[in-house]
Amino acid sequence: MKVFITRNIPDIGPAKLRASGWEIDQWHSDDVIPRATLLEKVHGADAVLSLLTERIDAELLDAAGSQLKVVANLAVGFDNFVVSEMTKRHVIGTNTPDVLTDTTADLAWALLMSTARMLPQAQKYVHDGKWTTWGPLLFRGQDIHHATLGLIGVGRIGAAMARRASGFEMKVVYYDAYRRQDLEEKYGYHYASSVEAVLLQADFVSVHTPYMPETHHLINADRLKMMKSTAILINSARGPIVDPKALYDALHNGTIWAAGLDVTSPEPIHMDDPLLSLENCLIVPHIASASMQTRDNMSELAADNIINVLTHKAPKTPVNKDAVVAQGLA
Ligand code: GLV
């Protein structure tokens, strides 16, 4: 068996794969593998351990060949997979859900707190030597406690975000295509019948939907205008869910108060992107799942998915069950 790993990742997964005795090839770099090299490297592979930076489409699947059985993404999001092309070829795709839920929500929460209390601006102020006295008007932010958290999407990570809000005695309002009456009954969350209904009442709006054609620019100029002028937008899902031009206008014009972004469109953000000129826009480089423990767990889960498929067992976290059935592993 031949396995190709597309980047340096925590070694726990690659080590497990090497212990199998299979041929393990890895792109030993912290940079994205050039597409042409990737297409060469996957040739003849039975399994590929990919990152969200690699598009797994018809071209790549054809370059790999018909022996390819599984592509294991080191991410919970798999919008880099063209799932229909994979399923058509009976190639199983897997992702890394659950192991990163709390770590991702921790970072989304950190963005919420940092933007509400203006921590990046305050740190810069200290570093710039501007701190001369205690100031009654200095860095007055927004209260987090007892505010309303609006969630767009209440899957695993959205629900983890809501759990964090309970410690701050916040009201939680959510919109999701699937109504979660269990969460409403257990925790008192409030269901809103539309994205707009969330935007109108939330002090903090946190986005937790997958990226797909239906969620492209879900947060656009019209919807930003519905938000309170004191509201803060948090995006730790995927960059293109928010229209970046509309977000710039909203932040620049004071339509909303601030934004905290773990993801941008494009990624990485261009250095001349106007969002970078705004003090009220906190941007970090797509690090929501980046804790030592969670990145180890993601690496191990991706490797386990490969090991299972190559030893004729069901993968732990497939994204296309039809391909699992087609390979007789269901
Ligand atoms: C990261 O964005 C992931 O989807 O895991």
Ligand 1 atom at minimal distance to the Cα of residue 74: 5
Quickly tell me which residue has 């206008």 as its tokens. 249
- The Cα–Cα gap between 192 and 194 comes to 6
pLDDT number for residue 302: 99
Mean pLDDT, residues 1-13: 98
Give 112 Cα–ligand 1 centroid separation in angstroms: 19
Ligand 1 atom at minimal distance to the Cα of residue 263: 2
DSSP character string of 52-116 = TTS-B-HHHHHHH-TT--EEEESSS--TTB-HHHHHHTT-EEE---STTHHHHHHHHHHHHHHHH
Residue to mutate (ligand 1; options 56, 100, 299, 319; most atoms within 8 A of CB): 100
Residue nearest ligand 1's atom 5 by CA: 75
Query: Active site residue: 164, 180, 208, 286, which one?
Result: 286
Q: Are 171 and 202 in contact (CB under 8 A)?
A: no
Query: Active site residue: 169, 196, 267, 279, which one?
Result: 267
Q: Note the pLDDT tens digit of each residue in 47-86.
A: 999 999 999 999 999 999 999 999 999 999 999 999 999 9
Q: Is there a catalytic annotation at residue 184?
A: no
What domains lie within the chain, and their CATH numbers? 2-98+292-326 (3.40.50.720), 101-283 (3.40.50.720)
Residue to mutate (ligand 1; options 49, 51, 52; most atoms within 8 A of CB): 52
Q: Is there a catalytic annotation at residue 279?
A: no
pLDDT number for residue 121: 98
pLDDT number for residue 146: 98
pLDDT number for residue 184: 97
Q: Are 64 and 89 in contact (CB under 8 A)?
A: no
pLDDT number for residue 16: 98
If DSSP codes are grouped into helix, strand and coil, which group holds residue 261? strand
Q: Is there a catalytic annotation at residue 267?
A: yes
103 CB within 6 A, ligand 1: no
Strand partners, 2: 23
10 CB within 6 A, ligand 1: no
289 CB within 6 A, ligand 1: yes
pLDDT number for residue 190: 98
pLDDT number for residue 200: 98
How confident is the prediction for the chain on average, in pLDDT? Answer: 98
Give 282 Cα–ligand 1 centroid separation in angstroms: 19
Q: Note the pLDDT tens digit of each residue in 129-183.
A: 999 999 999 999 999 999 999 999 999 999 999 999 999 999 999 999 999 999 9
> How large a percentage of the chain has pLDDT more than 70?
100
Ligand 1 atom at minimal distance to the Cα of residue 100: 5
Give 74 Cα–ligand 1 centroid separation in angstroms: 8
Q: Note the pLDDT tens digit of each residue in 305-317.
A: 999 999 999 999 9
- The Cα–Cα gap between 316 and 295 comes to 17
Give 104 Cα–ligand 1 centroid separation in angstroms: 9
215 CB within 6 A, ligand 1: no
77 CB within 6 A, ligand 1: yes
Give 75 Cα–ligand 1 centroid separation in angstroms: 4
Q: Where are the alpha helices (DSSP H) in the chain?
A: 12-18, 35-41, 58-64, 83-88, 101-116, 119-127, 156-166, 181-187, 195-201, 221-226, 244-252, 292-310, 321-326
pLDDT number for residue 131: 98
Mean pLDDT, residues 200-226: 98
210 CB within 6 A, ligand 1: no
